[in-house]
Amino acid sequence: MATKIKYNKIFINNEFVDGVNKKYFATINPATEEKICDIAEGEKEDIDVAVEAARAAFSRKSEWRQLSASERGKLIYKLADLIDQHKTEIATLESLDNGKPYLVSLNEDIPFAVSVLRYFAGLADKYHGKTLPADGEVFSLTRKEPVGVVGQIIPWNYPLVMAAWKLGPALATGCTIVLKPAEQTPLSALYTAALSKQAGFPKGVINVVPGYGHTAGAALALHPHVEKVAFTGSTEVGKKILQYSGQSNLKNVSLELGGKSPLVIFDDVNVNEAVQIAHDAIFANHGQNCCAGSRTFVHAKIYDEFVKKSTELAKARKVGDPFRECTQQGPQIFGPVQSILKFETMDEVIERANNTEYGLAAGILTKDINKALEFAQAVRAGSIWVNAYDMLAPQTPFGGFKGSGMGRELGPDALNEYLENKTITIKVPSTH
């Protein structure tokens, strides 16, 4: 499907520019393996320029820092509205670049990204510090302040959604941003950057530098003037991000990493409904989902029936051109593997569910509320879904235990990842 690419350069200070070294790389349509266009390749020198732009935008008397919290919220609302208004073009870019079905991009990913931005727009003036009953003749309070310049590194599997997850809380709290999209899928982030200028964000608040992880990404994570890095991707790279923090300025780090998530199905469920939930848990987004339900534990009493019906449903899945309405599965980068495992007791399945280095998500299907609560309390994962799977909302915090990361995205908790907590203590005259 041919489409004209409007934005293929680095976005700094509200302008699209070539990289310092004038390099370009190709972004490829995974469905056809043909080049979509050439993208300006950001490297360390470009990260340096972008960080300086973000630092200037964060300076004490800058236009951005002088805005009230409610005014920041209005700008985020405008950006969300513009994404919604341009959703057909953005969905086309998303599916060209990523390979996911166009109708999924249009009807699922973009609405979710818009809802996330609107949620954080509404939170921009709703976080605050506290007054404290400190001992002594003092008046003490805390103040929530933006951490500063933040580096944000997003993956290729949900390009626009992951950009919204990162941009929303950072902008709501008053930070400035250098965002590096995945080299495989830079188009929607660059389009969003153009819309941010149209929305009225001041220069330097949002900067987007496409490039490779080992060059642009590493330079961002190592930069001494970046105060925080938010990364979504593999556990292997997440460990490097932590190392880079220690090697540079001990910058704050939040990580949303991989998973090997269990979905446990008891024998009191409707088997047909359970088969569909488990199918969607692993096959959604082609299985290219960090919290995919890749370990399906099924009670021994319904195991054989479940396997038979799951196999039939998987075979019926329609693979093809992402721009055909009937397509459920486009091209893979990596694919879904549904491991269906038999279990008999709750104690057994809890032990097996926890027997992994990861702890991103888990699900349980049962009509027994006591079983559901026992499972939800015992399994070490950041999100537990009962009689559903992968039910995310802007209001619900998302993140992992163990090797699945640290920190939270979405929900009010996400704001804390971008805030410093300052204590102010004032000596007051004695009343004696």
The pLDDT tens digits for 134-167 are 999 999 999 999 999 999 999 999 999 999 999 9
- Quick one: 88 and 56 in the same domain? yes
The amino acid at residue 362 is A
- For residues 45-56, give the mean pLDDT: 98
Q: Give me the sign of the Cα torsion angle 169, 172, 175, 179.
A: positive
Average pLDDT of the chain to the nearest whole number: 96
**203 located within any domain:** yes
Could you tell me what percentage of the chain is helix, strand and coil, using 3-state DSSP and rounding each to the nearest 5? 40, 20, 35
- Quick one: 333 and 202 in the same domain? no
The amino acid at residue 153 is I
What spatial distance separates the first Cα and last Cα of the chain, rounded to whole Å? 81
More confident residue, 374 or 330: 374
Q: Tell me the whole-structure pTM to 2 decimals.
A: 0.96
Cβ atoms of 202 and 63 within 8 Å: the answer is yes
Give the CATH number for residue 305. Answer: 3.40.309.10
pLDDT bin (cut points 50, 70, 90) of residue 4 is confident
Give the CATH number for residue 182. Answer: 3.40.605.10
**180 located within any domain:** yes
* Res. 28: pLDDT tops 90: yes
Q: How far apart are CA 329 and CA 321, in angstroms?
A: 8
Q: Which of the residues are catalytic?
A: 256
**119 located within any domain:** yes
- Quick one: 298 and 316 in the same domain? yes
* Phi-psi region at 21: left, alpha or beta (left = phi > 0; alpha = psi -120 to 50): alpha
Q: How far apart are CA 148 and CA 419, in angstroms?
A: 9
**221 located within any domain:** yes
- For residues 218-232, give the mean pLDDT: 98
**5 located within any domain:** no
Instruction: Please report how the helices 159-173 and 69-85 are oriented relative to each other, as an axis angle in degrees rounded to 10.
Output: 160
Which tens digits make up the pLDDT trace of 96-119? 999 999 999 999 999 999 999 999
DSSP 8-state assignment for residue 137? S
- Quick one: 282 and 386 in the same domain? yes
Which tens digits make up the pLDDT trace of 377-408? 999 999 999 999 999 999 999 999 999 999 99
What confidence score (pLDDT) does residue 335 get?
77
- Quick one: 80 and 193 in the same domain? yes
What confidence score (pLDDT) does residue 334 get?
77
Domain that holds residue 296: 262-397
E strand segments, 228-380: 228-232, 252-256, 262-265, 295-299, 339-343, 358-359, 361-365
Count of the separate structural domains present in the chain: 2
Q: How far apart are CA 114 and CA 83, in angstroms?
A: 7
- Quick one: 361 and 252 in the same domain? no
- Quick one: 87 and 232 in the same domain? yes
- Quick one: 280 and 248 in the same domain? no
**426 located within any domain:** no
- Quick one: 203 and 79 in the same domain? yes
What confidence score (pLDDT) does residue 2 get?
56
Q: In the beta sheet, which residues pair with residue 140? A: 132, 425
What confidence score (pLDDT) does residue 429 get?
84
Q: In the beta sheet, which residues pair with residue 37? A: 27
- Quick one: 229 and 287 in the same domain? no
**3 located within any domain:** no
pLDDT bin (cut points 50, 70, 90) of residue 23 is very high
Q: Which residues make Cβ contacts (< 8 Å) with residue 282, sequence separation at least 6?
A: 292, 293, 294, 296, 336, 337, 338
pLDDT bin (cut points 50, 70, 90) of residue 432 is low
- Quick one: 96 and 242 in the same domain? yes
DSSP 8-state assignment for residue 136? S
- Quick one: 326 and 361 in the same domain? yes
Cβ atoms of 153 and 233 within 8 Å: the answer is yes
**428 located within any domain:** no
What confidence score (pLDDT) does residue 155 get?
97
